[in-house]
Each structure stands twice: as C-alpha cells, then as structure tokens.
Chain A
Amino acid sequence: MTASTSSLPAAARAPRSPWRARLTAWRVPLSILALCLLPWLLPSQALAVNVLIYGLLAVGYNLLFGYTGLLSFGHAAFFGAGAYVTGIAIGQFGLPWFAAMLLGVAFGGALAFLVGLLSIRTRGIYFSMVTLALSQLVYYTALQASSWTGGENGLRGFTVSTINVFGWAIDILDPVKKYYVLMVFAAAALWFVSRVLNSPFGAVIEAVRENETRARACGYDVERTKLLSFTLSGVIGALAGTLFALHLAIVPLDILSIHTSGMVVMMTLLGGAGSFFGPFVGALAFLLMEDVVSLWTSHWQIVVGTVFILFVLFLPKGIWGTALAALAGRGGR
C-alpha cells in the first residue's frame, strides 16, 4: 500500500531478473545472430538449413501451443500447404519465386483460418483430435489430387536456381547463399512473432492460456482470440513450408503426414514451449538426435521417443526454458 510502489518503471512482462529482462529485450537480434552462426557451428549445411526451417515451423507452433495453450495436432497441413502451393505456383504457373511464396503463405493462412474455425469450439483432447482429423483430410486430398501434387511421388520440377533481388542475382544452388536467403525470411518472421508477443494481443493469448473463464469475464472473446492466434500460427508454419519448397525443390507427400505434426510438437516441447528461442533449440536437439542415433540404428525413433518422454516427465520447460529459469534463479516469489 506504499505510494512508492506505484511509481515503479512500467514493464509489461515484469521480468524478475535483470538478466532475463535484457535477454527478452534483445531476443530478436540475439536469435538472428545465433541463426547466422548456425551453419558454421554444425557439422553440415543440410542440418543447419533443416534446423532453420523446422525451427521456424516450431516458432509458429509455439505461438499457439506455448503462448495460447492450444495443443494442435495438425500443423503439418499448413506447413505442407505452404510448400505445395509454392511449388505448384512456380512449376505449373511459372510464377516468380517471391510471388509463389506470397501465394503459399496466403493459402496456408487461409487454410489455418478455416481449420481454426472448425476446431476452436472444441476443447482439450477434442481440439487436438479435430485438428488431426482435418490435417489428415488435407493429406488425403493431396494424395488424390496427383495431377496437381504428384501424389505419392511428391511434387517435382520447380527448381529455382537463381533469384533476383532488385537486379542482384543470387545463386541459391550454393548452399551457403541459400541458407542466408532463407534466413532473411526466418528473421523477418521472428521479428514479427516478437512484435505479436509484445503487443496487447500477446497479453490476451497468455491470459486465455492461463484461465479462459477469467479472460472471458474480463471482456475478451476467447474464441475469436484463439482463432486469430491459430491463423497467425498457421501463417508462420506456411512460411516455413515455402522455405522448405525453395530449399529442397521437391515436396514429398510425407511433409503433410501426421509424423510432421507430431515432430513439431516434440521439437517445441524439447526446446521449451512458451520460450521465444526454445523452438529452434528443440529443432536442433531433435534433428541432431535423429542424425546421430540413426548412424547406429534405423530405429532412431525409439531413442528420440524415450528422450521426449523423459523431458515431459522431468524437464517440462524444455532445454531452453530450463536454462532461462536457471539463469533467472529460482525466484518468482
């Protein structure tokens, strides 16, 4: 009740440690710096670009799962939609790469809006099941529409070799150049997500995650809030999909499968749901495990699955989330 407490500096997130506050303020530049260094720290360029793409997909997923508290099991649909639409737009309609990307993101976002509209009225496990069912619907649609998507063989024949940026031709068959071109888009998406998290809407989704009933009583339309979050999350996922298409120049049907959806959930949880950079850490951990373990057994999923279960049981904040908590000290009281 003292007068002095009301004149404390304004801080929306009220961080309890100066270290953590500084990290939060610099999270976008620091994340981009880490992504810039990634190809030089990892054993292979291919691994770095996969961490970049799947990490971005997980960042979008984290917005929904970590910050809004919705466990979707259908994010493969938006990732795949972004990739397929980009590939089809380039390969069959001859669109320039950038226009194809925009179309992929727009289509993925529209699909997310539609899936969100149909799933958000359900809760808990039912929500997860409805998103799973709808993403399976997308999978089988892509399988059947083989004249568009190539069916089981995947989509081929849309290789982009050079891209022109304001008259400057970049050869993206060169893996290093390609990595940095794709990274520019990931960086822009990170900046956007950070901005959303710092916005008034960022406070609303956390409130919905914490207590739907209370959020509604405060005057928030919970369903609309969730739908907007779901759509934004799908847009980021679709962007990751368009990067995937540009990177591989093939879209395998597998990208739409339930395994992709499950993998994103695992990556987000391994890295730390609800932490800004955690999804990249999770993607790195997952892909490294896959690479290393599959060297000596083809059943690498058993090992990764066991590690995942141990994390859920003993490190629910994930690698990055736990590290941040340790940095901030045990405080909070």
Chain B
Amino acid sequence: MTTPLLAVENVGRRFGGFVALEGVTAAFEPNRVTAIIGPNGAGKSTFFNVLSGVMPPSTGSIRFKGRDITGTPQHRFAHLGIARSYQITNIFPELSVHENVRVAAQALRTRYDIWCNRAAMTELDDKADAALAAVGLAGRRDATAKFLAHGQQRALEIAVALVADPELLLLDEPTAGMGPEETKDMVGLLERLAKDRTILLVEHKMKMILGLSDRILVLHHGRLIADGSPQHIQTDPEVRRVYLGQNDGYA
C-alpha cells in the first residue's frame, strides 16, 4: 500500500475534566473517501477540529505526508494542503460568490501585500471561476453570498475549500439541513470530487455514506470503536448496538 497522507496516533482531546476524544489511531491513504460517524456527542466534531488545527490535541500526534504537524496554528493548515468546511455554513456573507472563492485562492499567493492592484491578478479570477464551475455555481457568480439558497451556500463553502487545491478535504456534514433534492445534488458533487481527492467527511445520513465512502470510522464516547469497509461496519455488532440500532430512520 501507498504511504498514508494523514496519520493520527493516539490522539486525544480533553476540555477540563471532560474527555471528548481518546486514543484515536488511524491512517488515511490518498484518494479515498472516509466517513466518520457516531451518535451525537461522540467526538466527531472534536476530531475534525483537531485534524484541521482549530485546536491542538491534548495527547498524541498528527502526521501529514510524513511530517509532524501537531500544534501547527490553524492558519497554516491551508498552506500545508488541508482544507475544511464547517457543519454550520461558514462563508463571507456580504461578499459576492466570486469574491468568496477568490479571497480563498489569494491566501496561497499573497496575504500582506498592501500595494499591488489585486484586480490585476487575473489568474485568481480564473481559479475562482474554475472552482465555482466545479460545484455548479458559475451561474450565481455575482450574487451576494448571503442571498444564496442554503444548498448553494453549502456548495459555495466547498468551492472555497476546493480552490486551494487541497490534498486533504475535510467536510463536516456537507448535507446538514438540506432537503432531499439538495442532498442529491451534493452527493453528485461529492462523487465527482471523490474521483481524485482524499476526503474525510462527517455525516449523519447513513444511506449516503454507504454509497459514497470506501471506509467508515465509528466514534462512540470519544473512542474509535470500529474501522472498516461499509459492509464490515454494517454487520459489526458493536456498531449496530450503539448507532444503527437506535437510528432506524437513518439506516
């Protein structure tokens, strides 16, 4: 097998006396889609926050492309090649759709230049337009982001993450709050992205995960209780007990 793109070792995170995450060890190979599931409060979001640098782990280490990145400040992650979306839509509401993506593209080129004319950096426009086309938002290019429909805002957030051409894409519930139609569009988008990207996603909608992911990790009370193919996870008695059993609606 190829060397892992991302490897977490014995990662844990506590908040005061509360252990949100404990002893998680896993390695992720390139060009795979891995889903992270678990009941509410299982530590999925904490795990994601640790992986995207929002907070350092209390214990353990994270290696990206063989390099130890534990404790790296969050704003460096985009430069390393790790981009994320948030569970609650996180865009620049008053900027246009195009500006949202363009400013994300600009981060990798220049951050403190107070002198040049940014309109002259046309390659950023092309990059932004390509990312918008990839998520199907080219037609809303000049709309103000806050006026987009919910599903379009989610797609925009993925374009914002995508424009940096990240090697690892972390998606926190990309279909949260979406209706069936919007979910279908998003699944189509994720399937297209999955062809040549490494994606980790947190999701609640079981049907969608089973079709989309190569591998599923199950968290419960901050611990990794199962790790395997969708078929394996579906038949795992422990997983059925803590997760699938109590959520018949999702399964």
Interface residues of A (CB under 8 A from B): 1-2, 5-6, 8, 10-14, 16, 195-196, 198-204, 206-207, 210-211, 213-222, 224-225, 228, 232, 332-333
- Taken together as a complex, chains A and B put the C-alpha atoms of A8 and B126 apart, in Å, by 10
Known: A2-B139, A203-B106, A204-B106. A216 touches B74 (CB 8 A): yes
Known interface pairs A5-B138, A210-B95, A333-B147; A200-B129 also in contact (CB < 8 Å): no
25 A-B interface contacts by CB (under 8 A): A1-B139, A5-B129, A6-B133, A10-B119, A14-B99, A14-B142, A201-B112, A202-B118, A203-B106, A204-B103, A210-B92, A210-B94, A211-B90, A216-B75, A217-B78, A218-B78, A218-B164, A219-B75, A219-B76, A219-B77, A219-B107, A219-B111, A222-B75, A232-B114, A332-B147
**With A10-B125, A219-B79: A204-B139 Cβ-Cβ less than 8 Å:** no
Contact B119 A200 (CB under 8 A): no
Q: Contact between B122 and A10 (Cβ–Cβ < 8 Å)?
A: yes
Known contacts A200-B106, A204-B103, A219-B77; is A11 also within 8 Å of B119 by CB?
yes
Q: Are A218 and B107 in contact (CB under 8 A)?
A: yes
Interface membership of B98, Cβ < 8 A? yes
B130 adjacent to A6 (CB under 8 Å): yes
- B98 close to A199 (CB less than 8 A): no
Which residues from chain A contact B103 at a C-beta distance below 8 Å?
Answer: 203-204, 206-207, 215, 218
B119 to A, closest residue via Cβ: A12
Task: Indicate the member of B74, B76, B93, B130 with the most A CB atoms within 10 Å.
Answer: B74
Contact of B144 among A6, A8, A218, A333 (CB under 8 A): A333
Contact A217 to B84, CB < 8 A, known contacts A201-B112, A211-B90? yes
What is the CA–CA distance of A219 and B136 in the complex, to the nearest angstrom? 24
Which chain B residues numbered 68 to 125 have a C-beta less than 8 Å away from chain A?
73-79, 83-84, 86, 90-96, 98-99, 102-104, 106-119, 121-122, 125
Neighbour of B75 across the interface among A14, A196, A221, CB < 8 A: A221
Nearest CB in chain A to that of B107: its residue: A219
> Which 6 pairs between the two chains have the least Cβ-Cβ distance?
A219-B78, A219-B107, A210-B92, A6-B129, A12-B119, A201-B114
B interface residues, how many (CB within 8 angstroms): 55
| Chain A minimum-CB-distance residue to B110 | A200
- Known contacts A10-B119, A200-B113; can you find 15 more A-B pairs with CB under 8 A? A1-B139, A14-B99, A195-B115, A199-B117, A200-B106, A206-B92, A207-B103, A211-B92, A211-B93, A215-B103, A218-B160, A219-B77, A219-B78, A219-B104, A332-B147
Contact (Cβ within 8 A) A199 B115: yes
Given contacts A198-B118, A202-B118, A203-B102, A5 and B111 within 8 Å (CB-CB): no
Question: When chains A and B are docked, how far (Å) is the Cα of A272 from the Cα of B136?
Answer: 36
B165 to chain A, nearest CB (A): 12
CB-nearest residue of chain A relative to B95? A210
Asked if A220 meets B111 with Cβ closer than 8 Å, knowing A1-B136, A1-B138, A5-B139, the reply is: yes
Q: A1-B133, A10-B125, A203-B99 are in contact. Are A228 and B139 (CB under 8 A)?
A: no
Cβ A200 vs Cβ B136 within 8 A? no
Nearest CB to that of B96 among chain A residues? A14
Closest to A192 in B: B114
**Smallest Cβ distance from B143 to chain A, in angstroms?**
6
> In this complex, which of B90, B102, B118, B164 has the most chain A Cβ atoms within 10 angstroms of its Cβ?
B118
- Chain A residues with CB under 8 A of B205: none
Q: Is the CB of A221 within 8 A of B111?
A: yes
Q: Is B221 an interface residue (CB 8 A)?
A: no
Q: Are B113 and A201 in contact (CB under 8 A)?
A: yes
Within B31-75, which residues are at the interface with A (CB < 8 Å)? 52, 73-75
Residues of chain A with a CB closer than 8 A to B91's CB: 211, 214
Cβ–Cβ contact A228 & B52, under 8 A: no
Contacts A1-B139, A219-B108 given: A199-B113 contact, CB under 8 Å?
A: yes
